[in-house]
Amino acid sequence: MSVFAHPDFDRHEQVVFCHDQASGLKAIIAIHNTRLGPALGGCRMFPYANDDDALRDVLRLSRGMTLKSSLAGLKLGGGKAVIIGDPHTGKSQALLHAMGDFIESLGGRYITAADSGTGDAEMQAFAQRTRHVMGATPRTLLDGSIASGDPSPSTALGVFVGLKAAVRHRLGRDDLTGLKVAIQGVGHVGLGLGRHLKAAGAELWVADIFDANVQQAMEELGANVVRPQDIYGLDVDVFAPCAMGGILNEQTLEVLRAPVIAGAANNQLATPEIGAELQRREQLYAPDYAINAGGIIDVYYQRIGGSAAQSDAHVRAIGDTLQQIFTRAAASGEPTSVIADRLALERLQAGGDAQPEALQRQAS
Ligand code: NAD
């Protein structure tokens, strides 16, 4: 396995291979870039088929976090951790403590949070060994209620705001009454997005591979349920991918007709060329790391001790950032994914001083 010659190696600052004989921990932490601040990104646990798959995932995800935080105007760098193992059967306190020790050994250059396969319980276990963990402390929300550090409600809010910006740009409508939306995956974010859409009067179709989540979406959202393989081909206004990555590919594009694609999943484009193909077909794609930044924004304000109101305002600025991306893409004829990368890199090079326009307006 090569690291420096790996196709997904992108001048990462540090890649740490972690092994603890006693607990059986095998993990990789990748710090992509700390120019804007400490590298913050979730710790994923997944039964990778081999070490190469884990390395590829952590290299790609950590780079994505650099772009996501930069585009969102946060003073955070990009990093990610992966634990190689089954999240249902492979966890022990000893293993989580060993992981916490490795995170602590980096002295705050990498800060962890929940991700696929980890949640509140794991963050609590890490927090017994390291200060550099987010989401382990309960906090007060805007309505005064106390919540865990789980940032997925903020991710859902950001996706909703971004979806509205996309619908306004592509379909020329502000009123979502009767808007037809297909949500792929009604987990933490997909269900939250569904709640916002239902309140706005949209008509929902959902698919999930986990029966309990389908049931909840039916009961709570009054959603129409389709089989997972049928979610792509529906005659809807918006396709909202909120399950896994790589779902915009040659096969799904054969049936996907929705004029707007706006959802929470990371790494939605199977290849960069798919972004260009969507542009040619006039299917407006809301770049994944732009629209799903609500969670990292929430975590950032938790970290600096900011208020729920500050976090909420910043999450809502996702709509303006997307509007800017759509306008630039329409003017230049380039894919929205290319414009998002350019904006993120511009902000990275400016040292994080270039804030999203909506926040600049608020500050002035
Ligand atoms: P989750 O695990 O709570 O929900 C995902 C849902 O997708 C589950 O209900 C699962 O059963 C379903 N699913 C999996 N494969 C499916 C398939 N083939 N077809 C239909 N449904 C399927 O995860 P989440 O926290 O809601 O995150 C959803 C997506 O958003 C992920 O890609 C995640 O990386 C991304 N994301 C999440 C956050 C966050 O704050 N949670 C932030 C940014 C990005």
Of all helices (H) and strands (E), which one includes residue 238?
A: strand 238-241
Q: What pLDDT was estimated at residue 321?
A: 97
Q: How far is the CA of 301 from the centre of ligand 1 (A)?
A: 23
Q: In testing the pocket of ligand 1, which one of 71, 118, 160, 188 has its CB within 8 Å of the most ligand atoms?
A: 188
Relative orientation angle of helices 272-280 and 336-349, to the nearest 10 degrees: 130
Q: What pLDDT was estimated at residue 147?
A: 66
**162 CB under 6 A from ligand 1?**
no
Q: In testing the pocket of ligand 1, which one of 40, 159, 196, 209 has its CB within 8 Å of the most ligand atoms?
A: 209
| Protein residue whose Cα sits closest to atom 12 of ligand 1 | 185
Q: Whole-prediction pTM value?
A: 0.92
Residue with tokens 């634990």, as numbered in its chain: 83
Q: How far is the CA of 268 from the centre of ligand 1 (A)?
A: 12
Q: What is the dihedral of CA 58, 63, 69, 71, to 10 degrees?
A: -150
Buried b (16+ CB within 10 A) or exposed e, 158-180: bbbbbbbbbbbbbeeeeebeebe
Q: What pLDDT was estimated at residue 54?
A: 97
Atom of ligand 1 nearest to the CA of 213: 9
Q: What pLDDT was estimated at residue 136?
A: 73
**218 CB under 6 A from ligand 1?**
no
Q: How far is the CA of 147 from the centre of ligand 1 (A)?
A: 20
Identify the top-confidence range among 110-124, 135-149, 335-349. Answer: 335-349
186 known ligand binder: yes
Which amino acid appears at position 348 of this protein?
A: L
Average pLDDT value over all residues in the chain: 93
**244 CB under 6 A from ligand 1?**
yes
Q: List, for residues 12-24, the tens digit of each pLDDT value.
A: 999 999 999 999 9
Q: How far is the CA of 266 from the centre of ligand 1 (A)?
A: 9
**Does residue 78 carry a pLDDT above 90?**
yes
What are the chain's domains? 3-137 (3.40.50.10860), 152-293+322-348 (3.40.50.720)
Q: What pLDDT was estimated at residue 351?
A: 81
**63 CB under 6 A from ligand 1?**
no
CA 311 to chain centre: 16
Q: What pLDDT was estimated at residue 364?
A: 47
Q: What pLDDT was estimated at residue 354?
A: 56
CB neighbourhood size of 273 (10 A)? 11
Q: List, for residues 245-300, the tens digit of each pLDDT value.
A: 899 999 999 999 999 999 999 999 999 999 999 999 999 999 999 999 999 999 99
Q: List, for residues 119-167, the tens digit of each pLDDT value.
A: 889 999 999 999 999 977 777 767 776 667 788 899 999 999 999 999 9
Q: What pLDDT was estimated at residue 138?
A: 73
How many Å is the Cα radius of gyration of the chain?
A: 20
Q: List, for residues 171-199, the tens digit of each pLDDT value.
A: 999 999 999 999 999 999 999 999 999 99
**Does residue 359 carry a pLDDT above 60?**
no
Confidence of residue 327 (pLDDT cuts 50, 70, 90): very high
**207 CB under 6 A from ligand 1?**
yes
Q: What pLDDT was estimated at residue 356?
A: 52
**Does residue 363 carry a pLDDT above 70?**
no
CB neighbourhood size of 193 (10 A)? 30
Confidence of residue 339 (pLDDT cuts 50, 70, 90): very high
Of 301, 364, 287, the C-alpha closest to 134 is 301
**208 CB under 6 A from ligand 1?**
yes
Confidence of residue 311 (pLDDT cuts 50, 70, 90): very high
187 known ligand binder: yes
